């Protein structure tokens, strides 16, 4: 049986390699020099394409067979893999607690160990950690696909920029207003989509995000249009002004506190009554309603809570960059935040954190491959979704054990 499968994989790999080589032959082999009016035939390039595609196809089919055999052995036909060793280690308190303590100490000492440039990069990563955890409430827990999440991010950023420009309000005065405005717009989006699911919900949220961006881009009298708003004040502390380096360190510690607060809040929400209602809503909306859960309230709370964190981060982003314009809030930002949630593991707090650090830090520290950045990104997402659809760190489900033994028996 194994030899037959190996022969089948070999045959499929040969066919795939020949077909790909045939399709790419004009690009890989023929080179036309319009100046010298010559044609160069590069047959070695075609050979490398043939060999490379054959090897990759063979490895791909081998991994697919291994995944299918693992699912069959577990009696699971939906390709849901078992928790990885990394997930088991993280769920072990003896491993997780020392790891978290070391990570916290390293995070506190980070600005003193590395340059301001590295601190700026980590601030951006921490902002996306909070954004990912916020979207994880809407998508990962409640199962509501939101492709316009960046709109709430933009609301918070423009709230601080405009209030600081017109009324000279500071960072700490606008920060709670940014969260409140984000929650308000989250509820505003939630009402029209209460009866929508799946693709229809995704299209409406995508349209909402584009509407907000286009309003900010074209309403010059309100948002200054494509020119944006500059000279936004950085955070202060009781009237104390900081230099650029000191302000960067200050914002870093603000973001570190925000990340810890967001982790605590989302973890408590997940284990709360409303968190269990979100999980039930994600699994089966009809059964959820039949059990007496108010679906309308649960959906609006999910949109509002997720948008609140985005509003907070919009204020921090405006204070960090001191300049914003509509180009900072495109659909690609929403797609990246959603990729963080899906790659890390929907509903998994450690997974979202890991996904945010991977997707935000890897491009910065792999600039040598900048020309192939999107290629590597796409290939990574394909591999993860095929071989680990539940994400890098699978969300842990609560298991309730019922004692079925009769009373009086040990």
Where residue 408 falls (left for φ over 0; alpha for ψ -120 to 50; beta otherwise) is left
> What would the two tokens of residue 83 be?
């928790």
DSSP 219: -
Contact 36, 23 (CB under 8 A): no
> Tens digit of pLDDT for each residue in 88-135?
666 667 777 788 888 889 999 999 999 899 999 999 999 999 999 999
DSSP-based three-state secondary structure for 230: strand
CA dihedral 207, 210, 214, 216 (to 10 degrees): 120
Cα-Cα-Cα-Cα dihedral sign, residues 368, 370, 372, 376: positive
pLDDT of residue 38: 85
- Do 171 and 177 touch, CB atoms closer than 8 A? no
Q: What is the pLDDT along the chain (410 residues), one digit of tens a residue?
A: 567 777 888 888 888 888 888 888 888 888 888 888 888 888 888 888 888 888 888 887 877 777 777 655 544 434 444 555 656 666 667 777 788 888 889 999 999 999 899 999 999 999 999 999 999 999 989 889 889 999 999 999 999 999 999 998 989 999 999 999 999 999 998 888 888 887 888 899 999 999 999 999 999 999 898 999 999 999 988 777 788 888 999 999 999 999 999 999 999 998 889 999 998 888 888 888 888 888 889 999 999 999 999 999 999 999 999 999 999 899 999 999 999 998 888 888 988 999 999 888 888 877 777 677 777 777 877 888 777 778 888 777 666 666 666 655 65
Contact 142, 186 (CB under 8 A): no
Task: Enter the DSSP assignment of 30.
Answer: E
């Amino acid at each position: 049986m194994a030899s037959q499968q190996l022969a089948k994989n070999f045959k499929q790999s040969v066919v795939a390699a020949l077909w790909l080589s045939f399709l790419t032959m004009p690009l890989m082999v023929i080179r036309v020099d319009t100046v010298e009016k010559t044609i160069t035939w590069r047959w070695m390039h075609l050979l490398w394409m043939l060999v490379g595609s054959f090897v990759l196809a063979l490895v791909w089919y081998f991994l697919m067979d291994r995944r299918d055999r693992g699912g069959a052995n577990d009696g699971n036909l939906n390709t849901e893999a078992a928790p990885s060793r990394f997930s088991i280690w993280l769920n072990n308190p003896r491993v997780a607690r020392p790891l978290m303590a070391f990570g916290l100490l390293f995070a506190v000492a980070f600005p003193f160990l590395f340059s301001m440039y590295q601190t700026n990069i980590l601030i951006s990563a921490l902002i996306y950690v909070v954004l990912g955890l916020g979207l994880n409430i809407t998508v990962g827990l409640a199962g509501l696909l939101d492709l316009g999440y960046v709109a709430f991010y933009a609301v918070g950023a423009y709230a601080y920029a405009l209030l600081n420009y017109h009324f000279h309000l500071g960072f700490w005065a606008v920060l709670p207003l940014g969260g409140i405005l984000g929650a308000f717009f989250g509820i505003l989006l939630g009402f029209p989509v209460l009866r929508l699911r799946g693709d229809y919900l995704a299209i409406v949220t995508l349209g909402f995000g584009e509407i907000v961006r286009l309003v900010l881009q074209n309403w010059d009298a309100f948002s200054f249009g494509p020119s944006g708003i500059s000279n936004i004040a950085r955070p202060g502390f009781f009237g104390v002004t900081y230099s650029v380096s000191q302000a960067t360190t200050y914002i870093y510690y603000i973001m570190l506190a925000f990340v810890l607060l967001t982790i605590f809040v989302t973890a408590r929400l997940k284990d709360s009554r409303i968190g269990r209602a979100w999980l039930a809503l994600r699994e089966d909306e009809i059964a959820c309603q039949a059990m007496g859960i108010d679906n309308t309230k649960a959906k609006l709370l999910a949109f509002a809570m997720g948008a609140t964190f985005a509003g907070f981060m919009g204020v921090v982003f405006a204070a960090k960059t001191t300049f914003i314009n509509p180009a900072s809030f495109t659909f690609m930002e929403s797609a990246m935040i959603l990729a963080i949630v899906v790659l890390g593991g929907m509903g998994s707090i450690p997974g979202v954190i890991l996904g945010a650090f991977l997707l935000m830090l890897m491009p910065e520290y792999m600039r040598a491959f900048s020309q192939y950045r999107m290629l590597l990104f796409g290939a990574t997402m394909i591999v993860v979704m095929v071989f680990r659809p539940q994400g890098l760190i699978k969300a842990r489900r609560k298991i309730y054990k019922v004692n079925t033994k009769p009373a009086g028996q040990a």
